[in-house]
A and B are shown apart, each in its own frame.
Chain A
Amino acid sequence: MAVAALPNDTAAVAGAPASYWRTVAWRLSRDPTTLVAGGLLVAIALSALLAPWIAPYDPNAGSIRLRLAPIGAASHPLGTDEQGRDMLSRLLFGGRMTLVAGLTPVVVGFLLGTVLGVVAGYAGGLVNTVVMRTMDVFYAFPAVLLAIAISGALGPGLPNTLLALSIVFVPRVVRVAESATVQVKGLEYVAAGRASGAGVAQILRYHLLANVLGPVLVFSSTQVSLSIILAAGLSFLGLGITPPAAEWGLMLNTLRQSIYVNAWVPALPGLAIFLTSMAFNLVSDGLRDAMEIRG
């Protein structure tokens, strides 16, 4: 137990009791791994956000004479790519695309999936069967295959990538939200709410959502890293972001052939993908531990 005093210890309970979110924040502040990963995420997000101001060069301006400059080259700290474009600038701009492609589908999945899952779980019966079996259809395909199939059918481009990935993530969130709802629905405090005359809306708002959102939020945060990897994967295959725009997966693909000329520059976008998805995973792990209610 964190700040909470022992229940029977009446001497120690004096003073302001900690609220739930304050307890969560306190636990997070004592978790160095999550703090470092969170700091890294903030840095990545800021650098992507501020890319137009902090990037030293135009990410799309190349130079025939300066192709594949090594890391640490004069005036190009992270080298240049196969068309002589500044790698640092491209990584900064590429982060914007990758983060948008990684976060948007998960946010869409979280919103839509929670609504569908809670409705299916609370209504039960036929509604539940229809919603859940439909989700199972999407589940029948591996995530990568499904994303490739959808964006292959829709054609490349950012909007289609977002749509394809959203379709991948909605069913996953629905499952988690549905099972959490079914579990909470059977608890006595929901029956107590009904016994006091509360309507469906009030039960959903005060009793169900409050207890379902936590686990769904934690689950969704674990999916961000997967979404980033999938988005980069689609671009790598030529189904996502189209050149010449900078995107980490796409950069990885175009630099692939240069790996024998200069091994370190092509590794940079891969490293960026790795660090970002790792940071998201660590933060969601920390969040799960901190949000757990300990009796």
Chain B
Amino acid sequence: MTAPSPGPVLAVRDLQKHFPLRAGVLQRARAWVRAVDGVAFDVHAGETLGIVGESGCGKSTLARLILRLVEPDAGSVQFAGQDVLAASPGTMKRLRRDMQLVFQDPYASLNPRLTIEDAVAFSLIVHGVRRRAARDSARMLLGRVGLDPDLYGRRYPHELSGGQRQRVNIARALVLDPRLLVLDEPVSALDKSVQAQVINLLQELKTERALTYLFISHDLNVIEYVSGRVLVMYLGQVVESGTADALAEAPKHPYTQALFASAPSMDPERRMARPPISGDPPNPINPPSGCRFRTRCASAMPECAEAPPALVSVAQGHDVACYLYGGSPAAGGSPPRSAVPAATTA
């Protein structure tokens, strides 16, 4: 890692969440969906870490685990050196001021019965700010994200467009003045032109407020544009991580290569006759043995079926979990252990 700062803002280690699939009268767990299976990474102050992967690879679950909206089964999350998963309710409430989430669905993420200024002010009221002061702050922030509070403040969400609602969501996340913003597909539900506006707004706010972003998306173009470093996820695991430039120029993992190759291009020379990978990702209830990508991989080898490969460094700050690059099996057949060197928490 090329970390200039002493310690990461966010350090995630071996994070794991398996959802039970219940059936029968007694509702016993019959199978487990391995949504997030041993993910580890650091986010440093001021950077934007992008997380990219297909639908169902566990990106959104990861976001909810980090913010402790869903309790992880195993692993640790440290925010500025503080253990998030072991925090008491009081500490947790304080921590929540520092880490906020912007949701994917601009329709389901706003309460239809609250005016947008109340929706934004709600977070402050929760933290004991007087109603009037909270409303003033909310109106100011609405203005900053491009919604005139006099015009829109008293409106209800259903009277706004998708892009406007997403601006409200951003204002709501920022009103507590957080240090880390987890953005779960913040622009995926928006039109292309609106996407650009919202992304530019996010970039401005990042500089203005010295924010750190964890930017989750399935859209490679967006991820490449906003992120410094990128993490590629496949079926709940990290398969490759590196700087956005390194990944775009020389993707190592066959999955990353396929992802970049399938991103649409404006260049007619680069048009494809057929997509580089096809089909859906395997069922996370019963993932393939060994490397999880081997069922769709063009260069799958016999050893890929045996044990999952561990992440190995192929260049400074560029890790890949693939046997093509001399990776060794992950210890005990468990998921990749260390995407980054062990955390030296401040």
Interface members, chain B 155-172 (any A CB < 8 Å): 155-156, 158-161, 164, 169, 172
Contact B160 A196 (CB under 8 A): no
Contact A197 B108 (CB under 8 A): no
Contact A295 B158 (CB under 8 A): yes
Contact A197 B127 (CB under 8 A): yes
Tell me, yes or no, whether A210 is within 8 Å of chain B by CB: yes
- Tell me which of A197, A199, A202, A295 has the highest count of chain B C-beta atoms within 10 A of its own C-beta: A197
Interface members, chain A 184-206 (any B CB < 8 Å): 187-189, 191-199, 202, 206
Contact B123 A197 (CB under 8 A): yes
Contact of B114 among A17, A191, A210, A295 (CB under 8 A): A210
Interface members, chain B 22-66 (any A CB < 8 Å): 64
Contact A211 B176 (CB under 8 A): no
Q: How far is the CB of B341 from chain A (nearest CB, A)?
A: 30
Flag the segment in B95-103, B198-206, B258-266, B327-335 that touches A.
B95-103
Which residue of the partner chain B has the closest CB to A195? Answer: B101
Contact B126 A189 (CB under 8 A): no
Tell me, yes or no, whether A72 is within 8 Å of chain B by CB: no
Flag the segment in A7-15, A28-36, A62-70 that touches B.
A7-15
- Tell me which of A14, A189, A197 has the highest count of chain B C-beta atoms within 10 A of its own C-beta: A189
Contact B64 A206 (CB under 8 A): no
With A191-B69, A206-B114 as contacts: A7 and B109 at CB distance below 8 Å: no
Give the residues in chain A near B94, CB-CB below 8 Å.
197
Tell me, yes or no, whether B130 is within 8 Å of chain A by CB: no
Q: How far is the CB of A93 from chain B (nearest CB, A)?
A: 42
Tell me, yes or no, whether B9 is within 8 Å of chain A by CB: no
With A5-B159, A195-B67 as contacts: A211 and B111 at CB distance below 8 Å: yes
Contact B113 A198 (CB under 8 A): no
Contact B109 A188 (CB under 8 A): yes
Give the residues in chain A near B67, CB-CB below 8 Å.
195
Q: How far is the CB of B15 from chain A (nearest CB, A)?
A: 17
Give the residues in chain B near A202, CB-CB below 8 Å.
126
Tell me, yes or no, whether B271 is within 8 Å of chain A by CB: no
In the complex the two chains form, what is the Cα distance from A89 to B108 in whole Å?
A: 55
* Interface footprint category on B: 35 or more
* Interface footprint category on A: 20 to 34
Contact A7 B161 (CB under 8 A): yes
Contact A197 B114 (CB under 8 A): no
Which residue of the partner chain A has the closest CB to B111? Answer: A189
Contact B103 A188 (CB under 8 A): yes
Q: How far is the CB of A122 from chain B (nearest CB, A)?
A: 15
Tell me, yes or no, whether B293 is within 8 Å of chain A by CB: no
Tell me, yes or no, whether B92 is within 8 Å of chain A by CB: yes
Tell me, yes or no, whether B105 is within 8 Å of chain A by CB: yes
Contact A195 B161 (CB under 8 A): no
Contact B113 A210 (CB under 8 A): yes
Q: How far is the CB of A178 from chain B (nearest CB, A)?
A: 17
Q: How far is the CB of A166 from chain B (nearest CB, A)?
A: 29
Which residue of the partner chain B has the closest CB to A9? Answer: B161
Contact B151 A19 (CB under 8 A): no
Tell me, yes or no, whether B110 is within 8 Å of chain A by CB: yes
Give the residues in chain B near A17, CB-CB below 8 Å.
152, 154-155, 159
Contact A211 B113 (CB under 8 A): yes
Would you give 13 A-B contacts (Cβ < 8 Å), ordered by A? Answer: A4-B159, A13-B152, A13-B155, A187-B108, A188-B104, A192-B109, A195-B69, A196-B96, A196-B122, A196-B127, A197-B127, A206-B111, A207-B111
The interface of chain A, by Cβ under 8 A from chain B, is: 4-5, 7-8, 13-14, 16-17, 19-20, 187-189, 191-199, 202, 206-207, 210-211, 293-295
The interface of chain B, by Cβ under 8 A from chain A, is: 64, 67, 69, 92-94, 96-97, 100-101, 103-105, 107-114, 119, 122-123, 126-127, 151-152, 154-156, 158-161, 164, 169, 172, 176
Q: A17-B159, A197-B94, A210-B111 are in contact. List 9 more A-B contacts (CB 8 A).
A: A17-B155, A188-B109, A189-B110, A192-B103, A192-B169, A198-B122, A198-B123, A202-B126, A295-B158
Listed from nearest, the 9 A-B pairs whose CB atoms lie closest are: A196-B123, A188-B109, A197-B96, A210-B113, A7-B161, A197-B93, A188-B103, A198-B126, A189-B111
